[in-house]
């Protein structure tokens, strides 16, 4: 996937979703006006944020920083890799649209309790929700304290009920106590950052839940094309008239799958089954786009394996 991030001259707070193939910052920022990048790694103590993101202050607060090779302070760089599903402060020498190509991993927000968290959100680029709607089902965020970078200064968002969340932007958000809130919908996959199915694992169940205070409509779209796209089936159950029993079977996974409206607290699930016999390679993959009418978008990679094709590609 290619992620587009709009950078302004000066400091920008961004949330990088994709994992660049080469995570070396020199390669990631090649051909861009980015001269500084900084990442904050969680500490045990409560995290606070600083009003002005200058490099001297960032160093004191425990950030890891990368400097472009042509800068006189390049030797002081200690940020060795740029990974996805992370927030970064980046300094651009000019306005720029940064297009980053990389691999998608399914990610979850890991909230640090009683602390500010620098996070980005899984929202639609064109029609995102407001902060109020995104956090409506979270007790830890009842009294929203959100700050965004405006003209290189962290500024509190005064009205979360009207301010929309921007895709690809990182914000400081305070979590009162522990939280596992991921937005209006929850997405549960078997484990890890991708769904893996194939010769050894014949199916995988994805559970969707409405964690908001409003009804939600959820759709699942399959994204991918070409010979490397994973042939995928949708597991179903039906009554077999011959055996008079409930039987499991699979149909071709549709281009788009819609669910009935989920009321607050309700759940729905679907079962993925790889069409191993149709796979032409040992490893093939596809992407699922799980979205709502309220502007939430989760990307889930599905990887299929076929043991008898290993070593033949």
> Ramachandran region of residue 62, left (φ > 0), alpha (ψ -120 to 50) or beta?
left
Q: What is the pLDDT of residues 157-191, one digit of tens each?
A: 999 999 999 999 999 999 999 999 999 999 999 98
φ, ψ for residue 133, nearest 5 deg? -70, -40
Going by the DSSP 8-state scheme, the letter that residue 294 receives in this structure is: T
pLDDT at residue 45 tops 60: no
Highest mean pLDDT among 55-64, 235-244, 251-260: 251-260
Q: Nearest Cα to 191, choosing from 256, 117, 111, 105?
A: 105
Q: What is the pLDDT of residues 10-22, one digit of tens each?
A: 999 999 999 999 9
**Poorest-pLDDT segment among 75-79, 104-108, 249-253:** 249-253
What is the rounded distance in angstroms from the CA atom of residue 194 to the CA atom of residue 103? Answer: 11
pLDDT number for residue 47: 62
Two structure tokens written together for 60: 């004191």
pLDDT number for residue 237: 75
Exposure of 150 in the CB half-sphere (CA atoms within 13 A): 7
Going by the DSSP 8-state scheme, the letter that residue 158 receives in this structure is: S
pLDDT band at 49 (very low <50, low <70, confident <90, very high): low
For the domain spanning 185-309, the CATH number is 2.60.40.2310
Q: What percent of the chain has pLDDT over 70?
A: 92
Two structure tokens written together for 112: 């640090």
Q: 58: part of which helix (H) or strand (E)?
A: helix 55-60
pLDDT number for residue 249: 83
Q: Say if residues 259 and 192 touch (Cβ distance below 8 Å).
A: no
Q: What percent of the chain has pLDDT over 90?
A: 79
Q: Say if residues 61 and 50 touch (Cβ distance below 8 Å).
A: yes
pLDDT number for residue 200: 80
Two structure tokens written together for 36: 């500084």
| Mean of pLDDT values over 307-311 | 81
pLDDT at residue 44 tops 60: no
Q: Nearest Cα to 70, choosing from 34, 21, 40, 39?
A: 34
Q: Say if residues 306 and 276 touch (Cβ distance below 8 Å).
A: yes
Q: Say if residues 222 and 288 touch (Cβ distance below 8 Å).
A: yes
pLDDT band at 46 (very low <50, low <70, confident <90, very high): low
- Please enumerate in sequence order all residues whose Cβ is within 8 A of that of 300, keeping only pairs 6 or more positions apart, or say none: 106, 187, 189, 194, 195, 206, 287, 288, 290
Residues carrying CATH 2.60.40.2310, the chain? 185-309
Q: Which residue has the tokens 């407001």?
A: 130
pTM as predicted: 0.90
What is the rounded distance in angstroms from the CA atom of residue 291 to the CA atom of residue 38? Answer: 31
pLDDT number for residue 285: 94
pLDDT band at 307 (very low <50, low <70, confident <90, very high): confident
| Mean of pLDDT values over 122-128 | 96
pLDDT band at 244 (very low <50, low <70, confident <90, very high): low
Q: Mean pLDDT score of the chain, rounded to an integer?
A: 91
Q: Which residue has the tokens 């949330």?
A: 15
């Amino acid at each position: 996937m290619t992620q587009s991030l709009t950078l302004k001259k000066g400091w920008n707070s961004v949330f990088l979703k994709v994992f660049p193939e080469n995570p070396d910052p020199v390669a990631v920022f090649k051909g861009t006006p980015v001269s500084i990048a900084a990442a904050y790694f969680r500490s045990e103590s409560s995290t606070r944020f600083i009003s002005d993101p200058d490099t001297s202050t960032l160093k004191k607060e425990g950030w890891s920083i990368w400097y472009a090779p042509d800068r006189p302070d390049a030797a002081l760089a200690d940020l060795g890799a740029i990974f996805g599903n992370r927030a970064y402060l980046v300094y651009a020498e000019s306005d720029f649209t940064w297009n980053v190509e990389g691999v998608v991993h399914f990610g979850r927000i890991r909230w640090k309790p009683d602390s500010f968290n620098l996070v980005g959100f899984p929202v639609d680029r064109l029609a995102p929700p407001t902060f109020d709607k995104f956090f409506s089902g979270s007790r830890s965020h009842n009294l929203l304290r959100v700050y965004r970078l405006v003209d290189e200064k962290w500024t509190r968002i005064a009205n979360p009920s009207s301010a929309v969340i921007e895709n690809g932007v990182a914000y400081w958000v305070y979590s009162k106590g522990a939280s596992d809130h991921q937005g209006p919908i929850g997405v549960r996959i078997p484990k890890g950052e991708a769904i893996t199915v194939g010769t050894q694992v014949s199916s995988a169940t994805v559970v969707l839940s409405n964690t908001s205070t409003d009804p939600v409509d959820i759709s699942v779209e399959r994204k991918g094309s070409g010979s490397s796209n994973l042939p995928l089936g949708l597991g179903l159950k039906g009554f077999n008239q011959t055996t008079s029993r409930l039987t499991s079977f699979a149909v071709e996974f549709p281009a788009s799958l819609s669910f009935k409206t989920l009321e607050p607290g309700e759940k729905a699930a679907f079962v993925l089954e790889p069409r191993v016999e149709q796979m032409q390679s040992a490893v093939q993959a596809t992407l699922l786009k799980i979205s709502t009418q309220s502007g939430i978008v989760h990307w889930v990679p599905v990887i299929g394996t076929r043991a008898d094709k290993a070593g033949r590609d």
